[in-house]
């Protein structure tokens, strides 16, 4: 499934930096993991 969202530029820049520091090659994988972690914490 595709999902389109709008985010502030600064948030995207910070997220990209975190992804790079943690060895992610794509935002997609990082977003999937972030959403999964959020869901686990809030179930």
Q: What is the pLDDT of residue 14?
A: 98
Q: Kindly write down the DSSP assignment for every residue of 1-43, as one continuous string.
A: --------HHHHHHHHHHHHHTT-S-HHHHHHHHHHHHHHHT-
Q: What is the pLDDT of residue 34?
A: 96
- Contact partners, residue 16, CB within 8 Å, separation at least 6: 27
Residues of the chain with pLDDT under 70: none
pTM: 0.79
């Amino acid at each position: 499934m595709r999902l389109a969202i709008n985010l502030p530029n600064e948030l995207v820049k910070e997220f990209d930096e975190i992804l790079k520091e943690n060895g992610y090659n794509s935002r997609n994988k990082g977003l999937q993991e972030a959403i999964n972690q959020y869901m686990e914490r809030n179930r």
